[in-house]
Chains A and B, each alone.
Chain A
Amino acid sequence: MTELPETPSAAETRLAELEKRRAWAEQLGGEDAIQRHHARGRLTIRERIDGLIDKNSFHEIGKLTGNGTYDENNAVVNVLPAPYVMGLAEIDGRPVAVGGEDFTVRGGTSWGSRRRKGGQGGFVEDLAHEYRIPLVNLIDGAGGTVTSLKSRGYSVFPGVSGFERSVELLGEVPVVAAVMGTAAGGPAGRAILSHFSIMIEGTSQVFAAGPPVVKRSLGQEIDKDDLGGVKIAVETSGTIHNAATDEADAFRQIRRFLSYMPQNVWELPPRTSTDDPVDRGDEGLHTIIPEKRTRAYDMRKLIGMVADRDSLFEIQPSYGKAVITMLARMDGYPVGIIANNPMIYGGAMDAKAARKQIHFMELCDNFNIPVIFLVDVPGFMVGLAAEKDGALREGMRAVYTAGNMRVPTFTLVIRKCYGMAGMATCNKNGLDMKVAWPSAEWGSLPIEGGVAAAFRREIAAADDPQAKEKEIEADLRPFASAFRTAEAFEVEDIIDPVETRPFFCKFVALAYTRMKMSLGPQSRCGVQP
């Protein structure tokens, strides 16, 4: 009996084709395109996803999507992958939806198909929405392109397949956007529709439109880094929250940010174990506040003494520096710390600081992260520049946002707490504790300026007006003592600085128990001032 030559069965042929198609997807835009991309100091989207997620945790979705070419017998010759790679993955063992443009295929421009893998209204957003898991967008695309106009046959209307889902996600699950390359238009917008955004020093830029459009519209010649690099987008405009030194640093920061976040608004943030004792009372807290009340000090150092060791992650460290916003942990429980920074104009709140604080308060409120205010604020920033920037309106928006927060808040007055900016540091709804250090002082305005204004005539009429002003100040100062306010029970307590950490740990733990009863999405009403 002669053996028949082995021919692959139909099933085997189909499996082989599946393998071939998967391999094409792995090749992205081809070797040359990948080399050019690497030469710009950038990783491919597959390398980026690998760099971000837990090892071997990527479950790709839509891998076979692309533009196929076929021979005269309808056999597939090649498939150019769609310029977007996405799927499910894990970060620290927790599922996330992750995706990003593939710059090596047509510069990551949006793809002609009716159904999208990523970008505005893409499937990756549906994944995050349906499974209530965080979304990480690794953005590296130029957005829309007029080249698809002809093939499509019509021009798309802005907002059809727009940002509807992106907007919805902001109330449901943590959304992180990383601008990995140059993002203009839609992709730039998507970066901002996030809870935390990051870009890379030197290699990424973000703007409404890039240099060619700027030149055409305004006749301005400007380099893309000068228009939308870290200096502008992070440090000046606050368009993007944090800067990373390189792509690996961006991935580290994204993982770090997500470690404080719950998977969605229906869950509590995850508690981690810590070996930092709850009753650790750092003696340095007794000496950190200078005796001289006009001398500034390092608030970050103070925060480090109070929070769990190595638990700090600062959001927007280089923008709106009069206020410090940090994610941290107290006995392993995630908290948001909002602290005034006396090193920056005495901590006076300007428009940028207010904007930064508003975003951070909303972030914490949305994701059930209790807020700790460390207060040393002399008031809103004054002067012509501040008025032009709208410091007063932005500051009042901070007051409004603080007043609307539902998450438990704790206020500790370190030194100054004056006026309306002081009101933005606490939420008087519910049982929100306000305590102070013995160094605290407060009021509707500081005695110094207040006396000069209220006793103007009396001071002017005196033989020695300066001495009169000093005399009235000295007369009033004892009444400004924090202890008198505590007598009146307007603050709940005054604590020894070394009791700060135990105090917060105790009440934050209580807050976590309480929050279990009020989880879920928040309906917002009212009009921001």
Chain B
Amino acid sequence: MARMEVKSEVTGTVWKIEKAVGDKVAEYDDIMILESMKMEIPAPAPADGTVVEIMVAEGVAVEEGQVLAIVET
């Protein structure tokens, strides 16, 4: 069981969180959607697994490189 970090690629805001803690996800599944430069930027699961932690809420500002969620594989 490895804990994998889902990091933000951009500075922006959290627009919509699509998965909840406990949800099973497949690689590339969007865990949440960020908003930056008027673009919706998905934060996808890095691998198949389960979302075990979500560190942000909708509407909050996030920095590039910030950890948004943890997926356990």
Q: Which residues of A contact B (CB under 8 A)?
A: 292, 294-298, 301, 321, 342-346, 348, 378
Contacts and interface: CB of A to CB of B under 8 A. Distances in A.
Interface residues on B, range: 10 to 19
B9 interface: yes
A235 to B, nearest CB: 10
Nearest to B12: A345
Nearest to A345: B37
A301 B36 CA distance: 21
A33 B50 CA distance: 49
Contacts of B9: 321, 343-344
A14 to B, nearest CB: 61
Nearest to A342: B39
A344 B38 contact: no
Contacts of B28: 298, 301
Contacts of B38: 294, 346
A55 B18 CA distance: 52
B56 to A, nearest CB: 17
A345 B36 CA distance: 6
B41 A343 contact: yes
B37 A343 contact: no
Given A295-B39, A344-B9, 5 more contacts: A292-B40, A342-B41, A343-B42, A345-B10, A346-B37
B40 A294 contact: yes
B44 to A, nearest CB: 7
B44 A346 contact: no
Name the 8 nearest CB pairs between A and B, nearest first: A346-B39, A296-B41, A295-B40, A345-B37, A346-B37, A294-B39, A343-B9, A294-B40
Interface of B: 9-10, 28, 33, 36-42, 44
Contacts of B39: 294-296, 342, 345-346
Contacts of B41: 296, 342-343, 346
B9 to A, nearest CB: 5
A348 B37 contact: yes
A515 to B, nearest CB: 36
Nearest to B10: A345
A296 B40 contact: yes
Interface SS of B by simple majority:
strand
Nearest to B43: A343
A334 B41 CA distance: 31
23 contacts: A292-B40, A294-B39, A294-B40, A295-B33, A295-B39, A295-B40, A296-B40, A296-B42, A297-B42, A298-B28, A298-B44, A301-B28, A343-B10, A343-B41, A343-B42, A344-B10, A345-B10, A345-B37, A345-B39, A346-B37, A346-B38, A346-B39, A348-B37
Contacts of B42: 295-297, 343
Q: Which of B39, B41, B42 has the most CB of A within 10 A?
A: B39
A422 to B, nearest CB: 16
Nearest to B36: A345
Q: Which of A292, A297, A343 has the most CB of B within 10 A?
A: A343
A292 B37 CA distance: 15
Contacts of B10: 343-345
Contacts of B37: 345-346, 348, 378
Nearest to B30: A295
A323 to B, nearest CB: 13
Nearest to B28: A298
Nearest to A448: B38
A314 B35 CA distance: 27
Contacts of A348: 37
A526 B12 CA distance: 40
A296 to B, nearest CB: 5
Nearest to B40: A295
Contacts of B40: 292, 294-296
A346 B44 CA distance: 16
Contacts of B44: 298
A318 B37 CA distance: 20
A295 B10 CA distance: 14
A236 to B, nearest CB: 11
Nearest to A344: B9
A343 B39 CA distance: 9
Nearest to B44: A298
A89 B40 CA distance: 50
Contacts of B33: 295
Contacts of A297: 42
A294 B41 CA distance: 8
Contacts of A294: 38-40
A32 to B, nearest CB: 40
Nearest to B38: A294
A345 B9 CA distance: 9
Q: Which of A294, A297, A348 has the most CB of B within 10 A?
A: A294
Nearest to B11: A345
Nearest to B41: A296
Contacts of A296: 39-42
